[in-house]
Amino acid sequence: MRVGIGYDVHRLVPERKLIVGGELIDYHLGLLGHSDADVLTHAIMDALLGTVGLGDIGKHFPDSDPSYQGISSLKLLAEVVGKIREQGYEIGNIDGIIIAERPKMSPYIPRMVTRLANVTALKEDQINIKATTTEGLGYTGEGKGIAAQAIAMVL
């Protein structure tokens, strides 16, 4: 058994779609990034890569590579899952937390879990997603960005 942890943060900006956990969220701002800037999926990918010592997503999917411009993070997650399995491991579980003052994430979490389970070939009860605020403190509390953390275990 091995574990890994991941963290990601992106700035909220106008004229971008807000995608978290592979789910399009109805909001007037979106996350700025080279790909779709899905903070939760990025944190999960880093956690998974960390479980087997394969570095981070920047190493595997650099923002200097134009082929990743605007790409769905779920496609990248599928590649990461393949890398984990190539190392001889299976994913045991994933636990993630979205840190955002707004929009409220709870209505979207069940669909996020379903999307992530489909991409990782896990059962939905092997994926746990939560959301929290920072009670108005810091960049997330001020509505300037969204962060996410994840931990994963492989067997």
Annotated binding site for a divalent metal cation: 8, 10, 42
Written as one letter, the residue type at 72 is: S
Q: Please give the helix or strand (H or E) that residue 31 lies within, else none.
A: strand 30-31
The tokens describing 7, both together, are 């963290």
Contact 9, 147 (CB under 8 A): yes
State the CB neighbour count (10 A cutoff) for residue 137.
10
Binding site per annotation, positions: 8-10, 34-35, 42, 56-58, 61-65, 132-135
